[in-house]
Copies of this chain bind each other. A is one copy, B any other.
Amino acid sequence: MSELTHIGPDGHARMVDIGAKLAAERVAVARGQISMSAETRALALNRETKKGDPIAIAELAGIMAAKKTADLIPLCHPLPLTNVEVRITPAEPDALEATATVRTTGKTGVEMEALTAVSAACLTLYDMLKAVDKAMVISGIELLSKTGGKSGDYHKETP
């Protein structure tokens, strides 16, 4: 038998049964970053034009990706998200950091939605900036916290 909830006692994959869980307010926060050359980062941050802003487009892509999580991750439950926010901010050295906060009133948590939003935001930054820098690296995608529901809150320990 397996400790992995997505795999049943008989070894088959399954979308776990959450029917008996209560609908509760649940929040998940995830983070990730994309590192690049100093010149690329300056270009991304230098948003003199109000339109075609790589950062705003990546934030929007993250929000939209959160809504597609159950379509991307095979065993994820479809959930009615009540709130999604994605923020991209400068990080050191020469990186941009994405943070996503996702909320639901549902029977299971939204960790995967927050992680998917962060991943899509970083991928979109890569796409927007790759004409000038193909060596960018996406890293540090992790769950910061998860609260709500009966299984207990989680807060990542900071070293």
Listed in ascending order, the chain A residues whose CB lies under 8 Å from chain B are 2-8, 10-19, 25, 32, 43, 47, 49-57, 59-61, 63-68, 70-85, 87, 103-107, 111-112, 115-116, 119-120, 122-124, 126-132, 134-143, 146, 154, 156-157
CB distance from A147 to the nearest CB of B (A): 12
Partner of A74, one of B5, B57, B73, B75: B57
Query: Once the chains bind, are B132 and A4 in contact (CB under 8 Å)?
Result: yes
Query: Once the chains bind, are A127 and B141 in contact (CB under 8 Å)?
Result: no
Query: Once the chains bind, are B130 and A111 in contact (CB under 8 Å)?
Result: yes
Query: Once the chains bind, are B4 and A129 in contact (CB under 8 Å)?
Result: yes
Query: Is chain A's interface secondary structure helix, strand, loop, or mixed overall?
Result: mixed
Query: Once the chains bind, are B3 and A132 in contact (CB under 8 Å)?
Result: yes
Query: Once the chains bind, are B82 and A49 in contact (CB under 8 Å)?
Result: no
A17 and B83 contact, Cβ closer than 8 Å, known pairs A51-B11, A51-B12: yes
A80 and B81 contact, Cβ closer than 8 Å, known pairs A67-B71, A72-B120, A119-B123: no
Query: Once the chains bind, are B43 and A3 in contact (CB under 8 Å)?
Result: yes
Query: Once the chains bind, are A50 and B11 in contact (CB under 8 Å)?
Result: yes
Contact sample, A vs B, 17 pairs, CB 8 Å cutoff: A4-B54, A4-B129, A4-B131, A14-B84, A19-B83, A19-B105, A50-B53, A56-B56, A57-B75, A67-B70, A68-B71, A77-B81, A82-B107, A105-B107, A111-B134, A112-B127, A119-B138
